[in-house]
Amino acid sequence: MSGAIFPPATDRPTFSANRWKQPQKIALEEAITTSVFNSTNTLPPTEAGAELPYVNADYVADVKNRLSNVALRVQAMDQAGIALTVISLTMPGIEGIFDPATAVETAKKVNDETHQLYCTGKYADRFRAFGCVAMQDPKAAAAEAERCVKELGFVGILINGYSQVGDAETVQYLDEPQCEPFWAKLEELDVPLYLHPRIPTPGQMRIYRGYEFLAGSPWGFGVETATHSIRLMVSGLFDRHPKLKVILGHCGEGLPFSLARIDHRMRHFQPHHYKCKLRMQQYWDQNFWITTAGVTSDASFSDTLRSCGEDRLMWSVDYPYEDYDETGTWFESLEMSENTRAKIGWENARRVLKLN
C-alpha cells in the first residue's frame, strides 16, 4: 500500500486533489512599505528599532523587494489561490516617528499613496487596505481614521503597538486617556483596529541582552502585543466602547493559552487596581477577532479555534515575511469541515471588514 493520501492531481479542475487552491481566500495581515519613508525602522533610526538587521541578507533583500512590488505580490497571490489581500504599513511604521507633526503629515501621505497604488488601477479588485494614523496626536489620528474610511474606502486601521512621542523612550500605549478621541471615532466608524506587534523600546531590552534577535518575531512581538491587549482589557476601554473590534494576528499572540490563568488569579486582586467590569475572557469573546498570520502549526491552530470559535478566526499569512503558497498549502491541508474552512478562509473576513 502506498503512502499517498490523494491520487495525483490532473488538469481537470473537478478532479484536482488541491481543489482549495482557487481565488477565494482572503489574507489580512499583509505588509507593505511606500516611497514616503522607510517604514522598516524608526524616524530617526534607532539601533534596536528594526528586526531585519538580525536576519539573513538574502531574506532581507527578498522581503524589501516584495514589500513594494505590487505585480510580484499579485503573482504570489494567484499562485496561492488568494482572491483578496488587505494590506497595511509594515512595522514600526508611523508609530516610530518621534515628531508628532511629522507623524501626522506622513500618515496622510502614506494613506494617499497606498490608495493610489493598491485601491485604484489595474489591481484594484485584488486589494483593500488598513489605514495608518499618528497616535502621537490622537485627535489628528481620529480625523485621519475618518478620512481613511469615508474618503479612501479603507476597511479599518492598523496600529503597530505603542507610539514613540518625542524620543525613543517616551512611549504611549493605546489604553492611555489621551487616546480616547481615537477610540470614540473608531467605534463610531464601526471598523476594526488591527493591533500589530513591534519590538520593545530600547529601555525594555535588558532581558534580551545578548539575544537581541529574540525581541522581534521569534518571541518579543507576541509578548509585547499580548501585554498591550491585556492593558486594553483591564483599562475599561471595552466597557466605555463595547462595540469596538480589535484584531490580533499570530493566533492571538499567545493569549488563548493565558486568559484562563489571568482571570483565575485576578479574582484575588484588589479591584481598585483595574477599571474593567468583566473578566478578560468576556472581552476576548466580545471584542477580539484573531488571524492565523505567521502560524503554520496544527496544534496552535486547533487551540486557537477552540478558544475563539470558528466565527472569530480568520486565515492570514504575514506576507512578505511569510510565504503565501506555504501558508496556504498548510491551511488547505488542515482537517476541518468545508463550512469551517470557508468561514476561516474568507467568509469571516468579508463579514468583519464589510467587503463587497
**What residues are annotated to the active site?**
318
312 CB contacts (<8 Å, ≥6 apart)? 285, 288, 289, 290, 348
User: CA Rg, the chain, in Å?
Assistant: 20
SS3 state at 314: strand
Find how far residue 46's CA is from the centre of its chain. 23
Residues comprising the chain, all counted:
356
Cα distance from N-terminal residue to C-terminal residue, the chain: 47
> Using CA atoms, how far apart are residues 125 and 118, in angstroms rounded to an integer?
9
Question: Does residue 183 contact residue 237 with C-beta atoms inside 8 Å?
Answer: yes
Give the 3-state secondary structure of 215-238.
Answer: HCCCCHHHHHHHHHHHHHHHCCHH
